[in-house]
Each structure stands twice: as C-alpha cells, then as structure tokens.
Amino acid sequence: MKLIILIIALLALLVGGCDRYIDSEDLDFSLPEAPPVPIYVKAIHLSESIMLDWQVPDTLANMSFKVYYTDSLGGPEQLWIKTAAYSTTVTGLVSGRLYYFMVSSVTSDGLEGEKSEPVATSPGLMSVVIGSGRKYTNSRSVRLDFIVPVTATVMQVTEDPLFTEAIWESYAPIKTFVLTAGDGVKYVYARFRFADGSETGIGSAVSDSIILDTETSINSVSYSPDDQVFAAGDSIAFSLETAEGDGSASITFPGQSSLALTFDEVQSNIGASRYVYSRIYEIPAGLEVVGGEVAGHFLDAAGNSAPIVNAPALLTISNPPSPVTAYATVESSSAIRLNWSQSVDDDFAAYHIYRGLTGSVSNSSDPIMVVTSRATRTYKDENLNESTQYFYRIYVYDNTGLSAASSVISAVTLVNQAPAPVTLAAGVDGAVVSLSWSSNNDSDFESYRVYRAASIPASIDQLTPLVIVNARAETAFENSPGNGTFYFGVAVFDKQGKWAVSNWVNVTIP
C-alpha cells in the first residue's frame, strides 16, 4: 500500500511540477499487482484459544500473512502475528468475549493486500464430562455433560479419536452415550460446530475417560488356623483376596451377619493386582457354630457385587465330647479285637479308630475305621502281621467336628502257623492233564497256586505258578503241557504269606 502511494505522489509531482510533457506511448511502467485476499478463513475452537486457518486464490512466491483481531467491528485492530503459515493459534483472549479475526496477504517486498472478511467467535473452556466425573461405571450407558463457550448447533461424539465414522447430531448439553463392550478404560471424544460458523477441529476435540467395570470377583476366602475347632476366646484370622482395590469386603458365618474387613497393605501386592482384606476376630462367649460356611462378600468401587465365595474349610466353634475307654484283645496271628465304652454325647457323630506301630498313634493320619453307630462298641482289625505289637487310639467325634481321644491301647498278634497242605491227584486224558486236590479249611486261607516242573523241586520260590485260585472251594485244574514227563504240585498260601505244598504227582504224555 505504501508503495502505491509513493508511486502516485511521484507521478503527481512529475505532472504538476513540469510544463513539459512526454509525448510517448512507449512508457514501460505499471502498478504492482495487489496480493490476493485470503478466503475461507475458519475459526477452530481449542480449549480457551482460537486456531485460525485460511486459503488464498493465488499463491505468490515468498508470500506471508498478517493476522489481526479486535473485540469490536470498526474498533482498533491488533496485529497478532506475521507468518508464512496458513494457520495460527491466537491465545491470551478473554473467555466469553466476542472477537473478530481478519487475515491479509503480504508480498515479499512488503506490499500488503486487503484484509479478509472478519470471522467472529468467542473463546472459552470446552469440555466433556463422563458420568458426572466418576472414576468407575458398571454400566455401558453413561451420561455426558458438555461445556462450550458459544452456542453449538451440532456435535460429533465417539470413542474414536479420529472421528472416522462419527456422525453429526444436534447439540444438547446432556447426552446419554453407550460405551463399547469390554471392561477397561474408555475414552469419549467430542467436537462441535457453533452458530457463528466456527467449529472444533479433530485434533482439538475434547475428551474424558472413565473405567468401565461391569463385573468383579473374589479370588479366595480363607481363615486360619483352619484345622481346629475353636472355642470362646480363640482368635481367627479372616482373609479375602480380590483383583481390585477401592472396594469393601466382609465375612459372614452362622452367628455373624457381617464382619467388615479392612485393606491389608502388608499382604497385598498392588503391582500384581492382588488386593487382600483381613481382620483378626476374637470369638465371644456363647457363640457356637457347627460346620458353618464362611462366606466372603465384596463390593467394588463401580458398585458391582462379586459372587459369594466360601472358604474351603468349614468353621466350628464348640466344646469337645467326652472320651471313651478302650480295650484290645488278640485273636490270632492276623487279628486283634477292639472294644470300647459307648459315647454319652448327644451330638455324637462317629468313632474314629487309629492304628500305629508306636505309642504315639494319633489322628494325624487316616483312620483305619470310622464307626457311625453310637451303639457299636467293637471292631476286629484283620490282615495284620504275625508277632507284631499294634497300638490303637479311638477318637470320639461330635457333629461339630470336635474330638476326644481314648488312652493308647496295644496288643501283640500271635505267631503264624503254616497252612495245612492239600492232597493232590492227577489223571491223563490224551494230551490233557486233570488235577484235583482236597480243600483247605484254614481261617486265614488266601489262595491255591498250581506249579509244574520237570522234576520235584527243592522249593517253589523260583517257580512261577500256572494259575492262582482264590476261591477255597475251587479244587480242580486242567493243563496241556505237551509230550514228556511232568511233575505237578499245589501250594496253599495264607493271608500272611506262609505256604505249604501238597504231594508232587508226575504224569507222562507219550
């Protein structure tokens, strides 16, 4: 502009200050072309600032732009920046005040063109708030609250930061939005178009996040010690483990409707998502629980209630029963008879019989027998070794799981005698040898074992039986050994492994 004025002044000076005229049509002189006026100037809202971008119809080499703004049309304009870029961000504006923005082009030699048509808008805070600012939600349907600096006409709301498939919809300050499925952190993005023609760019869209948590669970519930029957005054350590913090945990069991647990920082491992809630509970007087379930309850920060999980062990708080008096009587080399007095407890459950080879026998091992009838007061322990001392203890258990032990009793089994041998006979029918023998009537009979040899053996220890017959009454066997002379014998085995061999019979098959 200044250059144009200077040229006009020089021309006027030449024309008015000289009475001579240049009579020529060949004067090689023209005014410089004015730079293009920027078009499509657009205001894009950022949070408490305005970004402007524009275009020009013709691009000149080394062209730059000047950006002006004012808070009143016709008022003084302020230069914001001179830039070679086609966009700029204006900051430091007063939130809520209406501003007018204009852009002009400037040539490389400083010639500035006309300003663009003004674009008006108001800067200010923009935001979207999910679920009233809560950290968690257990519902995919959430409330969105929007704050915009000027009146918005339409908006796009999406979980995609690129707004790839987002659609424009009528603006409303409050909207119900359905989050995508799947628990985890959810981000919601929003952009707006305003009544003044400005809008929010994709890169400057507002966003908020919330954790979608639609379910919760309890990893484990336990108490310790869990291998005893408790009584008044005893302490129980309850523990509940989850994969979430910020929740509330409690324990229930018969006689206790809700026992609140507190977060246990020592036992927890937050880095491994292991959150432990615990409490030491002292049993009050008068509380009795018979095989009660210890149930864990957990409510997470999102409001989800976990399925109830029970401790693996049942809880018993009671008094033990009275012990019985026991006796042991040897009956044979493999059997001992036990007798005891009858339990007098009303909540009787069973007699548990324990056996050992030392006097320290206790219920730390599995019982050899469980008798559930209170009236039954005897038991025969069989299949024992000969000449061996056995120790016994009888525990009375009640319905609460409490027990009381008798004194330790013992007996020594008798020396085992070898079984009575059988008498063997043989017959031949062609190639088939038929064997038959007398039966064994010993009380500790175990089996008949039939042997075949080329000669009468000194012992059967190295022989393999042709057959083992476990039925006492089964006293016959057939065999086809082939041609030659063979010796057959039958050994009787008792339950303790002793044996006796019959007579040996020989047969010849031509």
Q: Which of 83-87, 97-101, 141-145 has the lowest mean pLDDT?
A: 97-101
The yes-or-no verdict on residue 297 having pLDDT over 90 is yes
Averaged over 332-337, what is the pLDDT?
94
Pairwise CA distance, residues 508 & 205, whole Å: 108
Burial letters for 231-259: b for 16+ Cβ neighbours within 10 Å, e otherwise?
beeeebebbbbbebeebebbbbbbebeeb
Pairwise CA distance, residues 201 & 46, whole Å: 8
Q: Is 294 among the domain residues? A: yes
Pairwise CA distance, residues 389 & 37, whole Å: 117
Q: Are 382 and 494 spatial neighbours (Cβ–Cβ below 8 Å)?
A: no
Q: Are 283 and 236 spatial neighbours (Cβ–Cβ below 8 Å)?
A: yes
The yes-or-no verdict on residue 14 having pLDDT over 60 is no
A 10 A CB-CB count for 389 gives: 13
For residue 54 the two structure tokens come to 């524009």
A 10 A CB-CB count for 72 gives: 10
Q: Which helix H or strand E contains 123, and what residues bound it?
A: none
Averaged over 74-82, what is the pLDDT?
89
Q: What residues contact residue 194 under an 8 Å CB cut-off, 6+ apart?
A: 45, 121, 148, 150, 151, 152, 153
Averaged over 163-179, what is the pLDDT?
95
The sheet carrying 378-381 orders its strands as 326-330, 336-340, 378-381
The yes-or-no verdict on residue 142 having pLDDT over 90 is yes
**What single-letter DSSP state applies at residue 438?**
P
Q: Report the domain count for the chain.
A: 5
Secondary structure of residue 335 in the 3-state scheme: coil
Same domain, 440 and 407: no
Same domain, 110 and 155: no
Percentage of the chain modeled with pLDDT above 90: 70
Same domain, 207 and 296: no
Q: Is 292 among the domain residues? A: yes
pLDDT of residue 109: 87
Unique residue bearing structure tokens 């322990």:
381
**Domain-terminating residue out of 212, 229, 264:** 212
pLDDT tens-digit map of 28-59? 556 678 899 999 898 888 867 888 999 998 87
Which domain covers residue 403, as residue numbers? 326-412
Residue type, 413: T
The yes-or-no verdict on residue 106 having pLDDT over 90 is yes
Band (22; pLDDT cuts 50, 70, 90): very low
pLDDT of residue 29: 55
Averaged over 471-478, what is the pLDDT?
96
Band (13; pLDDT cuts 50, 70, 90): very low
The yes-or-no verdict on residue 499 having pLDDT over 50 is yes
Same domain, 463 and 484: yes
Averaged over 378-405, what is the pLDDT?
93
Band (25; pLDDT cuts 50, 70, 90): low
Residues in the chain: 510
Averaged over 137-147, what is the pLDDT?
94
Q: Is 151 among the domain residues? A: yes
Q: What residues contact residue 507 under an 8 Å CB cut-off, 6+ apart?
A: 426, 428, 433, 485, 486, 488
Q: How far is CA 346 from the centre of its chain?
A: 45
The yes-or-no verdict on residue 2 having pLDDT over 50 is no
- Arithmetic mean of pLDDT over the chain: 90
Q: Is 286 among the domain residues? A: yes
pLDDT of residue 444: 87
pLDDT of residue 21: 46
Same domain, 462 and 387: no
Q: Which of 28-32, 66-70, 375-379, 453-457 has the lowest mean pLDDT?
A: 28-32
Same domain, 407 and 441: no
Q: Which helix H or strand E contains 242, and what residues bound it?
A: strand 235-242
Same domain, 361 and 433: no
Q: Is 194 among the domain residues? A: yes
Same domain, 98 and 78: yes
Same domain, 182 and 222: no
A 10 A CB-CB count for 452 gives: 17
The yes-or-no verdict on residue 20 having pLDDT over 50 is no
Q: Which of 52-61, 168-177, 200-209 has the lowest mean pLDDT?
A: 52-61
pLDDT of residue 7: 44
Q: Is 313 among the domain residues? A: yes
With CA atoms as reference, report the closest residue to 68 among 36, 106, 33, 109: 106
Pairwise CA distance, residues 410 & 358, whole Å: 9
Angle value at C-alpha 390, between 384 and 391, nearest 5 degrees: 140
A 10 A CB-CB count for 195 gives: 11
Same domain, 134 and 85: no
Residue type, 5: I
**Domain-terminating residue out of 193, 212, 231:** 212
Same domain, 147 and 90: no
Q: Which of 26-35, 298-307, 334-343, 366-375 has the lowest mean pLDDT?
A: 26-35
Q: Is 75 among the domain residues? A: yes
**Domain-terminating residue out of 163, 181, 212:** 212
Give this prediction's pTM: 0.48
Q: What residues contact residue 13 under an 8 Å CB cut-off, 6+ apart?
A: none
Pairwise CA distance, residues 115 & 446, whole Å: 118
pLDDT of residue 10: 43
pLDDT tens-digit map of 406-416? 999 999 999 99
Q: Is 238 among the domain residues? A: yes
Same domain, 195 and 272: no
Query: What's 206's domain CATH number?
Result: 2.60.40.10
Averaged over 236-244, what is the pLDDT?
96
pLDDT of residue 27: 52
The yes-or-no verdict on residue 3 having pLDDT over 70 is no
Band (346; pLDDT cuts 50, 70, 90): confident
Q: Are 487 and 450 spatial neighbours (Cβ–Cβ below 8 Å)?
A: no
Averaged over 361-366, what is the pLDDT?
95
